Amino acid sequence: MATAAPDAVNYWPDSKCARAFWDQCEAPAYQQLLADTTALLEPQPGDRWLDLGCGRGMLSRALWQKSGGTVAEIVGLDCAADNARAYERLRTQVRPTATADRLRFVCADFSAGLAAWSDASFDGVVSGLAIQYAESYSQELGRWTMAAYDHLLTEVHRLLRPGAAFVFSVNVPEPAWARVAWRSLPGLLRIPRRVRFLKRSLRMLRYGRWLKQEARRGRFHYLPIEAIVNKLQAIGFDRIEHRLSFVGQAYLLRCHKPNSMAQGQLSVPPPDLLCRVPADG
């Protein structure tokens, strides 16, 4: 895979960055996105799930609790090593409690780190506001490219068992982080340790400026929904659904790997299937 740009700064593995986004989970905008995402998850007993860019593991928690602890395994993958501690706490907080082999954290960069798993390893893949940060820099072209993003989508398709779902969210083009922060203010009084929350919120806004700046350079990928759907179709996903969430600043999608290659080659989703989940107001 391509190498990084010589002047690239990467905050994602840093502890401060990881912890700043931990508090995002308590904000009303994120709680809306979490609830919307959880509604699309259908874990079954004995399933194996992969949580890409898992952060502190809120989607892993949702999978575990929605299944009643009957899934065989949930793997949370993230490049920030600090999130391992969050998963240690998570195992004791979920009900029923989880063992380390059934709810586990893997520290890796998903831009090129999924090769460790064989084909059809998972019954589902979920990701929250993460895959858009798959990055690849071409030394030959002297610029950032979409190669890692496209490769990640292809790898997810490879890792899924036939018929399995990929549920994920990504930010809209030019996301308005200030709108997310503003809409979160009414819930501030319900949040414990409000001073810490405000400090980390300000830090998140600074990271948000960095993210938008890098997206404009082509490093990160806030794509229109039509472009995302086209990519999913080209790879072979079908039954594509999408809606808006996160106070209108994120697309939430669910798609499936066809039950057979023949089905994937012959099935082209009709236009009305591309928005089966109604958008919020």
HEC per residue, 191-213: CCCHHHHHHHHHHHHHHHHHHHH
Of 36 and 269, the one with more pLDDT: 36
The domain tally of the chain equals 1
Give a yes or no: residue 272 inside a domain.
no
Under DSSP, is residue 253 helix (H, G, I), strand (E, B) or coil?
strand
**83: which 2 tokens?**
């999130």
Cα–Cα distance for residue pair 148/134, rounded to 1 Å: 6
Predicted pLDDT at 20? 73
> pLDDT tens, 258-280?
997 545 443 333 333 334 433 34
Give the residue-averaged pLDDT of 64-74. 98
Give a yes or no: residue 145 inside a domain.
yes
DSSP conformational letter for 259: S
Give a yes or no: residue 193 inside a domain.
yes
| Residue showing tokens 């928690």 | 61
Give a yes or no: residue 127 inside a domain.
yes
Give a yes or no: residue 211 inside a domain.
yes
Q: What is the mean pLDDT of the chain?
A: 86
- Residue 138's domain comprises 15-264
Give a yes or no: residue 271 inside a domain.
no
Cα–Cα distance for residue pair 213/224, rounded to 1 Å: 17
* Reported pTM: 0.86
Q: Residue 76's domain is classified under what CATH number? A: 3.40.50.150
Question: Residue 184 half-sphere exposure, CB side, CA atoms within 13 Å?
Answer: 25
Listed residue (191, 169, 170) closest to 181, CA to CA: 191
pLDDT at 192 over 50: yes
What's the full length of the chain, in residues?
281
Listed residue (74, 70, 75, 76) closest to 44, CA to CA: 70
Give a yes or no: residue 270 inside a domain.
no
Give a yes or no: residue 224 inside a domain.
yes
- pLDDT class of 8 with cuts at 50, 70, 90: confident
